[in-house]
Structure 1
Amino acid sequence: MCTLVVAWQVFADAPVVVAANRDEALDRPSEPPSVIAEEPRIVAPRDADAGGTWIGYNEHGVFVAITNRWTDADLAGERSRGLLVRDALDCESAEEAARLVERAVAADEYEGFNLLVADANAAVLCEWDGGLRTGNLGPGVHVVMNVGAIGRVTIPASWPERGEQQAENGRNVRESLQPEPGEGHAAWRDRAADVLGDHDYGVCVHHEEFDFGTRSSSLLTIDADGSADYRYADGPPCRTEFEPVESQV
C-alpha cells in the first residue's frame, strides 16, 4: 500500500477513519477482506503470496496498516512485512502493537516500512529503514506514503525526483482532506474516496507497462464503541465501486 490517510480523533463519534490505496504488482495474488482470525476477531484482506496483510482491524478497535518505505539502506527483508501487520492485529491496544513492532525489528530484518497503529486512545507511526523511529500522532488528518508521513518525509537519494513528486502529491491530499465546518465522518470518508480515485492527486496509479499499479482501496471507520464499517474496492478506485465488507467485527 502506498497511500494511507487517517483522520484520528477528528470526529467525536469515530476516532479512527481511514482511506487507503494499495499499490502492488498486478499479478500478486490476494484475497478480499474477511474474518481471518477469531481470538481476537480480525478483519483484513490477505496477501495470498506471503500470507500476511497490509491493512485491517480487530475486535478491540485496533487498526493496523503498512506502506513500503523508500530508503537507500540495503535491507535483507528476511521476513514479510505483511506478517508483521498480522502479528500487530493480535494486540489489544495501539500502544501494545507499537511495542510488538519494536521487538519484531530486533528479532528479524524487514524491508523498509511505515506502519501505523491506531485506536481510540493512541495513534503511533513506526518508521523502519534499518533503524526504528516511533512517534505518536496528534489529532488531525495524517497522510503516510512511501517517503514517510507528510510533514516529515525523507526523500531517498536514489529516487529524488520520484520522492519529491510523491511528497507533493501527499501534501495536496492532506490539504484537500482537511475537515470542512460541520462535516461528519461519513461525508469526510466519501470525499476521501473521491480523492483516492482522482488522478489529479497522483495516488491512483496505473503502470501496466511495469505490471504495477493501484490494486485495491479501503475505507474504514472505527466508532467510539469499537464497532467498524469497512468498505473495499477490489480494484483501482477510479473505476471500482466500494462495496461493504460482509464480514465485520
Structure 2
Amino acid sequence: MCVAAVAWQAHAHWPLVVAGNRDEFHARPTAPLAFWQDGSGVIAGRDLLGGGTWLGVTQAARMVLVTNYRTPEGSVPGRPSRGKLVTDLLLGREPEPIDTMNPFNLIEVSAGNARFLTNHPQCESRPLAAGIHGLSNGGFDLPWPKTRQVEAAVSAWLYESDGEPASLLDALRSETPGAAPALPAGESGPEARFAPVFIRDPLYGTRCSTVIAVRRDGTGLIAERSFHPDGSISGEIRIDFDWPLHFNSP
C-alpha cells in the first residue's frame, strides 16, 4: 500500500509538488535516495531486489511515480517489474508492454507535460489536468480518505510554505485515518490497518516519505525521510537539482 499526491500546475510559483509514502516489507533490501552512479542522471531510491524504483526525478526534466493497484488476487510472480517501468520512463526508454505487468497506477511528468497511466482495469493513458491529484492503490478517481489527507497537506503547503519540505514530511507521518467515504458499487477502500497515511508495522509498513518541489524557474529539491520497522526515523536526505526546462505560467 502506498499513497501520494501530485500538484501539477496548481500554483504560480510551484508548478510541480509531489508528496508520498512508500509502503513495503521492511526486509526488502532498499538503497536510499541518491544520484545513481551509472551516468543516467536519475535521483531516486532503489529497490535492490527488483533493481528499479518507485519514485524519482532526473535533471532531464522527468518525474515518475508508481503505486501498485490493489486487487483481490494480488500480484502474480514473474511478471515484468513495475519498478523497471519507472526507470525506463525516467530515462526516456520504451518500456515493456504494460498489459503484461501486475496492476499499477502511475504519474509521469516529461518535457513540460504530465499524464496518468494505468493498466487496470484496462490500459489507459490520459493527460493530467492542472490541479492536485491523489494516487493510491485503488482507482484514480476514488476518494480514499488517506489520499484526500495527502492532497489537503499538499494544498496547504503550496499556500503556506516557506519552500522547505519539513512540514510536508511531517504530514506524511499521520496515523489518524479519515472517515470512510461512500464508494461505487464493487469498489473498496484499504483495510483498516492500511487506512492511515503512515503505516506503523514491524513487518510491512511505511519505509520512507518523499517530497519533490520544483519552482517555476526550474530549480527543485527532492527530500526523503526513511523509517525503522518501529516507525522511528532512520535517516533524512535532501538533494537540490535543476531542470533544463522552465515551466510556462499556468
TM-score (norm. length: structure 1)? 0.76
* Deviation (angstroms), 1:242: 6.9
Residue type of the partner of 2:31?
E
Tell me which residue corresponds to 1:2: 2
Q: Report if aligned partners of 1:177, 1:191 keep a CA contact under 8 Å in 2.
A: no
Shift of residue 181, structure 1, vs aligned partner: 8.8
81-90 or 7-16: bigger deviation: 7-16
Q: 2:221 aligns with which of 226, 229, 235?
A: 229
Q: Is contact 1:31-1:48 (8 Å) kept?
A: yes
Residue 53 of structure 1 corresponds to which residue in structure 2? 53
User: 1:234–1:240: 8 Å Cα contact kept in structure 2?
Assistant: yes
- The equivalent residue for 1:170 is 147
The count of corresponding residues between Structure 1 and Structure 2 is 222
In the alignment, the residues of structure 1 paired with residue 47 and residue 84 of structure 2 have an alpha-carbon distance, to the nearest angstrom, of 9
Runs of at least 5 residues in structure 2 that lack an aligned partner in the other structure: 178-195, 243-250
| Pair 1:221–1:74, CA change in 2 (3 A) | closer
Equivalent pair of 1:75/1:110 in contact (CA under 8 Å): no
How far does residue 143 in structure 1 lie from its aligned partner after superposition?
1.1
Structure 1, unpaired ranges of 5+: 92-96, 154-165
Deviation for aligned residue 1:18:
0.9
Indicate the larger mover: 125-134 or 73-82. 73-82
| Residues 221 and 239, structure 2, Cα contact 8 Å, conserved in 1 | no
1:36 CA drift (Å): 1.6
Aligned residue for 2:233, secondary structure, equals coil
- Structure having the higher helix fraction is 1
1:86-165 mapped onto 2 (5 Å cutoff): 86-91=87-92, 100=94, 104-105=97-98, 109-119=100-110, 121-129=112-120, 131-149=122-140, 152-153=141-142
Partner of 1:32: 32
1:245 corresponds in structure 2 to 238
Aligned CA-pair RMSD: 3.0
Question: How far, CA to CA, are the matches of 1:55 and 1:185 in structure 2?
Answer: 24
1:66 deviates by 0.6
Alpha-carbon spacing, 1:43–1:172, altered in 2? closer, same or farther (3 Å): closer
The 1-side partners of 2:231 and 2:122 are apart by 36
Deviations 1:50-99 (A, max 9, x none): 111111001122110111101246764511110110101012xxxxx8xx
C-alpha distance in structure 1 between counterparts of 2:13 and 2:147, whole Å: 26
Q: 1:242 to 1:11 in 2, by over 3 A?
A: farther
Instruction: Give the drift of 1:179.
Output: 3.9
Aligned to 1:84: 85
Q: 1:53 to 1:10 in 2, by over 3 A?
A: same
Aligned residues of 1:73 and 1:129 also touching (Cα < 8 A): no
CA shift, 1:170, in A, is 1.8
Aligned residue identity for 2:160: E
In structure 2, give the amino acid aligned to 1:240. I
The CA distance in 2 between the partners of 1:38 and 1:116, in whole Å, is 24
Measured after TM superposition, the shift of residue 205 of structure 1 is 0.3
TM-score, L = length of structure 2: 0.76
Q: Residue 24 of structure 2: SS of its match in structure 1?
A: strand
Contact (CA 8 Å) 2:220, 2:240: kept in 1 or not? no
